[in-house]
Amino acid sequence: MTSVTVRVEGPDPYDVVIGTGVLGALPAMVGDRARTVAVVHAAGLPEIARPVVGVLERAGHTVHALPVPDGEAAKDVAVLAGLWSRFAGLGMTRTDAVVGVGGGATTDLAGFAAASWLRGVPAVLVPTTLLAMVDAAVGGKTGINIPEGKNLVGAFHPPAGVVCDLATLVTLERDDYISGLAEVVKAGLIADPRILELVEDDPEGAARPDGPHTRELIERAVRVKAGVVGADLKEAGLREILNYGHTLAHAIEKAEEYRFRHGHAVAIGMVYAAELACLAGRLPEKEVDRHRAVLTSVGLPTSYGAEAWPALRAAMTIDKKSRGSTLRFVVLDGIAEPGRLEGPDEDLLAAAYRKVAK
């Protein structure tokens, strides 16, 4: 399978290389100036971290593998502080580099560690999950969680490059792969309807890492995100559309103490946002039905517990899109026609949730 390169424009442009067996792109992204390279990797992925270390060592770098907890447990201030201490022990300077290997939690952590060490050192990301490839690793958002909410502490720090080796996807559990599809479908809903058509034509194939359109789906999703973040790195306006479904999703994740898969929460959140837009008279009901159909076809959930609404509503108050006390939602006026709904009435919020309650 040949590789494809997607360019992310902006103040600090970089490439996203997508393909199988593409780790050879890493040394050029790390660059010749880096003497020491810290490879921050999920502890459960030593077999994936080893070839990353190997390709960098063969390029002449001094490489140190630094394992961190798997999953969201990595995005903790204590883990971050531990990395800072390791960087200090390694004598890492501003010309050295961090390489993050793992899912979205690992790349978020590695990126923030790079952004905050000496006020910023280069980061190269090697996402190993579908979710990380199409979302977390592209766009320069980095961060950790605190008890009050997800991703509330972080920095914008574009990577020096991203390498998406599709060979790593075959190691994913089926539910984890399907979780990542939520962000792929999101890209289709907000910007690229061809993604929806590919999934609708072959949902079973879309739900497999060896499906006939896997690389095209990933490439299209990455291109959507690249186009948005290249025009709006720091979420001044346009970039907010990437948060479609995320207001409720982050509330669900908090309620579940981050044990709920991100993509599953986003799937529910997108249906909620669609119902909200429909009740507000902005999105046709047939498009709400399409949300449910395409998400359900690949095995993603579209409903959540009715009794959870009070806790979810409270959690949504602490949302990065809010302005003061005004709650803001990304909604659609049609497929690939994103907009915003500001300060919706409480009765409307509750009515929309009843549509997704089970």
Q: Determine, yes or no, domain membership for 135.
A: yes
Give yes or no: residues 53 and 152 share one domain: yes
**Domain end residue (candidates: 171, 197, 225):** 171
- What are the pLDDT digits (tens) for 204-220? 999 999 999 999 999 99
Distance CA 135, CA 184 (A): 9
Residue 70 labeled ligand binder: yes
273-290 CB burial, b ≥16 within 10 A, e <16: bbbbbbbbebbbeebbeb
Which residue(s) pair with 125 in the sheet?
100, 162
Average of per-residue pLDDT across 243-253: 94
- Percent of the chain beyond pLDDT 70? 96
- What are the pLDDT digits (tens) for 90-101? 999 999 999 999
Q: Determine, yes or no, domain membership for 167.
A: yes
C-alpha distances (whole Å) from 218 to each of 26, 86, 135, 170 are: 19, 34, 10, 14
Give yes or no: residues 151 and 283 share one domain: no
Give yes or no: residues 14 and 160 share one domain: yes
User: Residue 344 sits in which domain range?
Assistant: 244-356
Our count of domains for the chain comes to: 2
Give yes or no: residues 117 and 9 share one domain: yes
Residue 286 labeled ligand binder: no
Q: Determine, yes or no, domain membership for 14.
A: yes
Given a contact cutoff of 8 angstroms between Cβ atoms, the answer to whether 196 and 335 are in contact is: yes
N- to C-terminal Cα separation, the chain: 43
Residue 75 labeled ligand binder: yes
In the predicted structure, residue 244 carries a pLDDT above the cut 60: yes
Catalytic residues: 119, 141, 183, 225, 235, 239, 243, 246, 250, 262
Give the angle 71-73-74 at the CA atoms, nearest 5°: 80
**Domain end residue (candidates: 124, 143, 171):** 171
Q: Determine, yes or no, domain membership for 100.
A: yes
Is 145 or 331 the better-scoring residue by pLDDT? 331
Q: Provide the whole-model pTM.
A: 0.91
Given a contact cutoff of 8 angstroms between Cβ atoms, the answer to whether 186 and 245 are in contact is: yes
Q: Determine, yes or no, domain membership for 298.
A: yes
